[in-house]
Amino acid sequence: MKKFLLIGFGMIFTACVLGIGAWAIGDRMAAAAIEQEWQTTQVEKIHALGATRTFEILPLFEEAKARNDLELEHGVSYLIKTDELNILLDVGMTPARLSRNMQALNVSEKDFDVVVITHPHPDHMGGTAAWWSNRLAAGDPPLDLTGKRVLVPMALNNAEIAQSVLEQPTKIAKGVATLGTIAFPELFPLSLRGARNVEQALAVNVKDKGIVLITGCGHPTVERIVTRAGAIFDEPIIGIVGGLHYEGFSREQTQPHIAFIAALDPQLVAVSPHDSSPAALEAFREAFPGAYREIRVGEQIRLDEPIAARPR
Protein backbone atom coordinates (compact mmCIF):
# COMPACT_ATOMS: atom_id res chain seq x y z
CA MET A 1 0.00 0.00 0.00
CA LYS A 2 2.79 2.37 1.07
CA LYS A 3 4.65 1.51 -2.13
CA PHE A 4 1.65 2.43 -4.30
CA LEU A 5 1.26 5.72 -2.46
CA LEU A 6 4.91 6.54 -3.04
CA ILE A 7 4.63 5.68 -6.75
CA GLY A 8 1.48 7.81 -6.95
CA PHE A 9 3.14 10.83 -5.32
CA GLY A 10 6.18 10.30 -7.53
CA MET A 11 4.04 10.38 -10.66
CA ILE A 12 2.20 13.53 -9.56
CA PHE A 13 5.51 15.22 -8.71
CA THR A 14 7.02 14.29 -12.10
CA ALA A 15 3.91 15.55 -13.93
CA CYS A 16 4.13 18.88 -12.08
CA VAL A 17 7.84 19.30 -12.87
CA LEU A 18 7.27 18.43 -16.54
CA GLY A 19 4.26 20.78 -16.73
CA ILE A 20 6.16 23.73 -15.24
CA GLY A 21 9.15 22.95 -17.48
CA ALA A 22 7.00 22.85 -20.62
CA TRP A 23 5.27 26.09 -19.61
CA ALA A 24 8.64 27.84 -19.01
CA ILE A 25 10.00 26.65 -22.37
CA GLY A 26 6.77 27.79 -24.05
CA ASP A 27 7.17 31.24 -22.47
CA ARG A 28 10.75 31.55 -23.65
CA MET A 29 9.80 30.55 -27.18
CA ALA A 30 6.98 33.10 -27.16
CA ALA A 31 9.38 35.83 -25.98
CA ALA A 32 11.76 35.03 -28.86
CA ALA A 33 8.85 35.12 -31.35
CA ILE A 34 7.71 38.50 -29.96
CA GLU A 35 11.24 39.88 -30.36
CA GLN A 36 11.31 38.62 -33.95
CA GLU A 37 7.88 40.17 -34.56
CA TRP A 38 9.13 43.56 -33.31
CA GLN A 39 12.21 43.41 -35.54
CA THR A 40 10.26 42.52 -38.68
CA THR A 41 6.92 44.39 -38.35
CA GLN A 42 6.54 47.16 -40.93
CA VAL A 43 4.10 50.00 -40.26
CA GLU A 44 2.71 52.52 -42.69
CA LYS A 45 3.39 56.22 -42.17
CA ILE A 46 0.54 58.63 -41.47
CA HIS A 47 1.43 61.83 -43.36
CA ALA A 48 -1.71 63.95 -42.95
CA LEU A 49 -2.38 63.55 -39.25
CA GLY A 50 -3.52 67.16 -38.78
CA ALA A 51 -3.55 68.82 -35.37
CA THR A 52 -5.97 69.64 -32.58
CA ARG A 53 -6.12 72.89 -30.60
CA THR A 54 -8.19 71.33 -27.84
CA PHE A 55 -6.23 68.91 -25.69
CA GLU A 56 -7.31 67.85 -22.22
CA ILE A 57 -6.92 64.63 -20.29
CA LEU A 58 -9.20 64.02 -17.30
CA PRO A 59 -8.24 60.88 -15.33
CA LEU A 60 -11.44 59.06 -14.27
CA PHE A 61 -9.73 56.00 -12.79
CA GLU A 62 -6.22 55.90 -11.33
CA GLU A 63 -4.26 54.91 -8.29
CA ALA A 64 -4.16 58.52 -7.04
CA LYS A 65 -6.93 61.08 -6.63
CA ALA A 66 -7.23 64.83 -6.39
CA ARG A 67 -10.28 65.07 -4.09
CA ASN A 68 -11.84 63.28 -1.13
CA ASP A 69 -15.14 62.60 -2.89
CA LEU A 70 -13.37 60.54 -5.59
CA GLU A 71 -12.11 56.96 -5.38
CA LEU A 72 -8.75 55.51 -6.34
CA GLU A 73 -7.85 51.97 -7.37
CA HIS A 74 -5.22 50.16 -9.40
CA GLY A 75 -6.21 50.79 -13.03
CA VAL A 76 -6.60 53.37 -15.76
CA SER A 77 -9.41 55.30 -17.43
CA TYR A 78 -8.83 58.71 -19.03
CA LEU A 79 -11.26 61.04 -20.79
CA ILE A 80 -9.34 62.75 -23.62
CA LYS A 81 -10.81 65.79 -25.37
CA THR A 82 -9.71 66.97 -28.81
CA ASP A 83 -11.25 69.25 -31.48
CA GLU A 84 -13.13 66.55 -33.39
CA LEU A 85 -13.33 63.60 -31.06
CA ASN A 86 -13.56 62.85 -27.36
CA ILE A 87 -12.10 59.53 -26.30
CA LEU A 88 -12.57 57.26 -23.30
CA LEU A 89 -9.22 55.45 -23.01
CA ASP A 90 -9.66 52.25 -20.95
CA VAL A 91 -12.33 51.64 -18.29
CA GLY A 92 -10.35 50.85 -15.11
CA MET A 93 -10.75 47.88 -12.78
CA THR A 94 -13.99 47.90 -10.72
CA PRO A 95 -16.88 49.03 -12.98
CA ALA A 96 -18.95 50.54 -10.13
CA ARG A 97 -15.97 52.63 -9.06
CA LEU A 98 -15.59 54.06 -12.57
CA SER A 99 -19.30 54.95 -12.54
CA ARG A 100 -19.07 56.64 -9.14
CA ASN A 101 -16.06 58.71 -10.23
CA MET A 102 -17.79 59.66 -13.49
CA GLN A 103 -20.86 60.78 -11.57
CA ALA A 104 -18.77 62.80 -9.10
CA LEU A 105 -16.96 64.46 -12.03
CA ASN A 106 -20.22 65.04 -13.93
CA VAL A 107 -19.07 62.88 -16.84
CA SER A 108 -21.42 60.62 -18.82
CA GLU A 109 -21.59 58.73 -22.12
CA LYS A 110 -22.42 62.08 -23.79
CA ASP A 111 -18.88 63.25 -23.09
CA PHE A 112 -17.11 60.78 -25.38
CA ASP A 113 -17.54 59.49 -28.95
CA VAL A 114 -15.09 56.60 -29.03
CA VAL A 115 -13.71 54.06 -26.57
CA VAL A 116 -10.09 52.98 -26.99
CA ILE A 117 -8.92 49.92 -25.05
CA THR A 118 -5.13 49.84 -24.80
CA HIS A 119 -4.80 46.15 -23.90
CA PRO A 120 -6.83 43.32 -22.42
CA HIS A 121 -5.73 43.41 -18.77
CA PRO A 122 -8.11 43.40 -15.78
CA ASP A 123 -7.23 46.95 -14.68
CA HIS A 124 -8.03 48.40 -18.13
CA MET A 125 -11.10 46.41 -19.25
CA GLY A 126 -13.24 46.36 -16.10
CA GLY A 127 -11.90 43.72 -13.70
CA THR A 128 -10.77 40.14 -13.38
CA ALA A 129 -14.14 38.60 -14.34
CA ALA A 130 -14.16 40.77 -17.48
CA TRP A 131 -10.62 39.65 -18.30
CA TRP A 132 -11.48 36.00 -17.70
CA SER A 133 -14.43 36.14 -20.10
CA ASN A 134 -12.54 38.44 -22.54
CA ARG A 135 -15.35 40.97 -22.30
CA LEU A 136 -15.26 44.73 -21.78
CA ALA A 137 -17.09 45.75 -18.56
CA ALA A 138 -17.45 49.54 -18.79
CA GLY A 139 -19.17 50.97 -15.73
CA ASP A 140 -21.81 49.60 -13.36
CA PRO A 141 -24.58 50.28 -14.30
CA PRO A 142 -23.00 49.56 -17.72
CA LEU A 143 -22.26 52.58 -19.89
CA ASP A 144 -24.52 52.78 -22.93
CA LEU A 145 -22.08 52.36 -25.82
CA THR A 146 -24.78 52.33 -28.51
CA GLY A 147 -23.52 54.17 -31.59
CA LYS A 148 -19.97 54.45 -30.24
CA ARG A 149 -16.94 52.87 -31.85
CA VAL A 150 -14.82 50.71 -29.59
CA LEU A 151 -11.23 50.44 -30.84
CA VAL A 152 -9.52 47.35 -29.46
CA PRO A 153 -6.08 45.74 -29.93
CA MET A 154 -7.66 42.28 -30.21
CA ALA A 155 -11.25 41.03 -30.58
CA LEU A 156 -13.41 40.93 -27.43
CA ASN A 157 -16.42 38.69 -26.81
CA ASN A 158 -18.89 41.59 -26.51
CA ALA A 159 -21.39 41.00 -29.32
CA GLU A 160 -23.29 44.18 -28.33
CA ILE A 161 -20.50 46.67 -29.10
CA ALA A 162 -19.28 48.04 -32.44
CA GLN A 163 -15.64 46.99 -32.10
CA SER A 164 -12.79 47.51 -34.56
CA VAL A 165 -9.48 45.69 -34.11
CA LEU A 166 -6.74 48.13 -35.08
CA GLU A 167 -3.49 46.26 -35.62
CA GLN A 168 -2.03 48.93 -37.91
CA PRO A 169 -1.55 52.64 -37.07
CA THR A 170 -4.86 54.37 -37.78
CA LYS A 171 -5.90 58.03 -37.87
CA ILE A 172 -9.21 58.29 -36.02
CA ALA A 173 -9.75 62.07 -36.12
CA LYS A 174 -7.92 65.29 -36.92
CA GLY A 175 -4.68 65.07 -34.94
CA VAL A 176 -5.56 61.75 -33.29
CA ALA A 177 -4.26 58.27 -34.17
CA THR A 178 -3.59 54.88 -32.64
CA LEU A 179 -0.08 53.44 -33.02
CA GLY A 180 -1.24 49.95 -33.96
CA THR A 181 -0.55 46.97 -31.76
CA ILE A 182 2.86 46.13 -30.28
CA ALA A 183 3.27 42.63 -28.86
CA PHE A 184 4.73 41.96 -25.40
CA PRO A 185 5.40 38.82 -23.32
CA GLU A 186 2.38 38.36 -21.04
CA LEU A 187 2.94 38.71 -17.30
CA PHE A 188 2.65 35.85 -14.84
CA PRO A 189 0.05 34.66 -13.76
CA LEU A 190 -1.97 36.07 -16.68
CA SER A 191 0.48 34.23 -18.97
CA LEU A 192 -0.97 30.89 -17.87
CA ARG A 193 -3.69 31.60 -20.42
CA GLY A 194 -1.43 32.80 -23.22
CA ALA A 195 2.21 33.90 -23.47
CA ARG A 196 1.67 36.74 -25.99
CA ASN A 197 -0.36 39.90 -25.53
CA VAL A 198 -0.60 43.20 -27.42
CA GLU A 199 -1.00 46.85 -26.45
CA GLN A 200 -1.86 49.97 -28.42
CA ALA A 201 -1.20 53.58 -27.45
CA LEU A 202 -2.82 56.82 -28.60
CA ALA A 203 -1.10 59.77 -30.26
CA VAL A 204 -2.54 63.30 -30.11
CA ASN A 205 -0.87 65.99 -32.22
CA VAL A 206 -1.39 69.30 -30.43
CA LYS A 207 -1.36 72.35 -32.72
CA ASP A 208 1.96 74.23 -32.74
CA LYS A 209 3.39 71.85 -30.11
CA GLY A 210 3.75 68.25 -31.25
CA ILE A 211 2.63 64.74 -30.43
CA VAL A 212 1.66 63.57 -26.97
CA LEU A 213 1.60 59.78 -26.55
CA ILE A 214 -0.96 58.33 -24.14
CA THR A 215 -0.35 54.79 -22.86
CA GLY A 216 -2.25 52.24 -20.78
CA CYS A 217 0.35 50.09 -18.99
CA GLY A 218 3.26 50.65 -21.38
CA HIS A 219 4.15 46.94 -21.40
CA PRO A 220 5.99 47.03 -24.77
CA THR A 221 8.36 49.62 -23.13
CA VAL A 222 8.49 53.38 -23.69
CA GLU A 223 11.44 52.86 -26.04
CA ARG A 224 9.37 50.76 -28.42
CA ILE A 225 6.27 52.93 -28.14
CA VAL A 226 8.27 56.09 -28.98
CA THR A 227 10.21 54.29 -31.73
CA ARG A 228 6.93 53.10 -33.27
CA ALA A 229 5.50 56.64 -33.13
CA GLY A 230 8.66 58.00 -34.73
CA ALA A 231 8.24 55.55 -37.61
CA ILE A 232 4.62 56.64 -38.20
CA PHE A 233 4.60 60.42 -37.83
CA ASP A 234 6.56 63.37 -39.21
CA GLU A 235 5.73 65.54 -36.17
CA PRO A 236 8.01 65.64 -33.10
CA ILE A 237 7.05 63.67 -29.99
CA ILE A 238 6.85 66.14 -27.13
CA GLY A 239 4.99 64.32 -24.39
CA ILE A 240 4.17 61.03 -22.76
CA VAL A 241 1.26 60.42 -20.39
CA GLY A 242 0.16 57.15 -18.76
CA GLY A 243 1.44 53.82 -17.56
CA LEU A 244 5.07 52.91 -18.25
CA HIS A 245 5.26 49.81 -16.06
CA TYR A 246 8.21 50.55 -13.79
CA GLU A 247 6.77 48.23 -11.17
CA GLY A 248 9.23 47.58 -8.35
CA PHE A 249 11.88 49.76 -10.04
CA SER A 250 14.52 51.59 -8.00
CA ARG A 251 15.56 55.14 -8.89
CA GLU A 252 18.71 53.76 -10.51
CA GLN A 253 16.79 51.29 -12.64
CA THR A 254 14.61 54.07 -14.09
CA GLN A 255 17.59 56.21 -15.15
CA PRO A 256 18.18 54.70 -18.64
CA HIS A 257 14.48 55.16 -19.42
CA ILE A 258 14.52 58.73 -18.12
CA ALA A 259 17.56 59.44 -20.30
CA PHE A 260 15.70 58.05 -23.32
CA ILE A 261 12.69 60.31 -22.67
CA ALA A 262 14.91 63.32 -21.86
CA ALA A 263 16.41 63.04 -25.36
CA LEU A 264 12.94 64.02 -26.70
CA ASP A 265 13.16 67.30 -24.74
CA PRO A 266 9.56 66.72 -23.61
CA GLN A 267 7.08 69.44 -22.67
CA LEU A 268 4.80 67.03 -20.83
CA VAL A 269 5.69 63.93 -18.80
CA ALA A 270 3.09 62.26 -16.57
CA VAL A 271 3.71 58.74 -15.30
CA SER A 272 0.78 56.70 -14.01
CA PRO A 273 1.12 55.67 -10.36
CA HIS A 274 -0.86 52.49 -11.10
CA ASP A 275 2.04 50.47 -12.49
CA SER A 276 5.20 52.29 -11.37
CA SER A 277 6.92 52.26 -7.98
CA PRO A 278 7.02 55.38 -5.76
CA ALA A 279 10.81 55.46 -6.32
CA ALA A 280 10.36 55.49 -10.11
CA LEU A 281 7.74 58.27 -9.88
CA GLU A 282 10.06 60.31 -7.66
CA ALA A 283 12.92 59.91 -10.14
CA PHE A 284 10.67 61.16 -12.98
CA ARG A 285 9.45 64.15 -10.95
CA GLU A 286 13.03 65.18 -10.30
CA ALA A 287 14.23 64.56 -13.85
CA PHE A 288 11.53 66.70 -15.50
CA PRO A 289 10.83 69.57 -13.09
CA GLY A 290 9.34 71.78 -15.80
CA ALA A 291 7.30 69.16 -17.65
CA TYR A 292 6.18 66.66 -15.01
CA ARG A 293 2.51 66.36 -13.98
CA GLU A 294 0.80 64.12 -11.49
CA ILE A 295 -1.92 61.78 -12.76
CA ARG A 296 -4.79 61.89 -10.29
CA VAL A 297 -8.49 61.15 -10.67
CA GLY A 298 -10.33 64.43 -11.18
CA GLU A 299 -7.33 66.61 -12.09
CA GLN A 300 -7.10 67.79 -15.68
CA ILE A 301 -3.83 67.50 -17.57
CA ARG A 302 -3.27 70.10 -20.30
CA LEU A 303 -0.40 71.47 -22.34
CA ASP A 304 -1.28 75.13 -22.49
CA GLU A 305 -1.38 75.93 -18.78
CA PRO A 306 1.84 76.98 -17.05
CA ILE A 307 3.80 73.77 -16.70
CA ALA A 308 5.14 73.05 -13.25
CA ALA A 309 5.42 70.00 -11.06
CA ARG A 310 2.73 70.33 -8.44
CA PRO A 311 3.04 69.12 -4.88
CA ARG A 312 1.48 65.74 -4.16
Measured distance between the N- and C-terminal CA atoms of the chain, rounded to whole angstroms? 66
Give the contact letters, 211-230, x = binds to Zn ion (CB under 5 A), - = no: ------x-------------
Give the contact letters, 275-294, x = binds to Zn ion (CB under 5 A), - = no: x-------------------
Give the contact letters, 88-107, x = binds to Zn ion (CB under 5 A), - = no: --------------------
Q: How far is the CB of 94 from Zn ion (least distance, A)?
A: 14
For Zn ion, how many residues bind (rule: CB under 5 A)? 4
- Going by C-beta distance under 8 Å and a sequence separation of 6 or more, which residues neighbour residue 90? 61, 75, 76, 77, 78, 116, 117, 118, 124, 125, 216
Could you give the CA distance from residue 24 to residue 21 in angstroms, rounded to a whole number?
A: 5
Q: How far is the CB of 275 from Zn ion (least distance, A)?
A: 5
Site for Zn ion contains 63 (CB under 5 A): no
Q: How far is the CB of 199 from Zn ion (least distance, A)?
A: 7
Give the contact letters, 175-214, x = binds to Zn ion (CB under 5 A), - = no: ----------------------------------------
Q: How far is the CB of 34 from Zn ion (least distance, A)?
A: 15
Q: Which is nearer to Zn ion, 74 or 251 (CB)?
A: 74
Q: How far is the CB of 59 from Zn ion (least distance, A)?
A: 13
Q: Which is nearer to Zn ion, 275 or 299 (CB)?
A: 275
Q: How far is the CB of 153 from Zn ion (least distance, A)?
A: 11
* Proportion of the chain in helix, strand, coil states, percent, rounded to 5: 30, 20, 45
**Which one among 65, 81, 121, 293 touches Zn ion, defined by CB under 5 A?**
121
Q: Which is it for strands 55-61 and 77-82: parallel, antiparallel or unpaired?
A: antiparallel
> What angle in degrees, to the nearest 10, is found between the helix axes of 278-287 and 251-262?
40
Site for Zn ion contains 271 (CB under 5 A): no
Rg for the chain, CA atoms, rounded: 21
Q: Which is it for strands 210-215 and 237-242: parallel, antiparallel or unpaired?
A: parallel
- CA distances (Å), 133 to each of 150, 152, 289, in order? 17, 15, 42
Q: How far is the CB of 126 from Zn ion (least distance, A)?
A: 12
Could you give the CA distance from residue 79 to residue 261 in angstroms, rounded to a whole number?
A: 24
Window contacting Zn ion (CB under 5 A); options: 48-56, 88-96, 97-105, 118-126: 118-126
Residue 199's φ and ψ, nearest 5 degrees, are -135, 145
Could you give the CA distance from residue 109 to residue 167 in angstroms, rounded to a whole number?
A: 26
**Which one among 62, 90, 123, 299 touches Zn ion, defined by CB under 5 A?**
123
Which residues are at the interface with Zn ion (CB under 5 A)?
121, 123, 217, 275
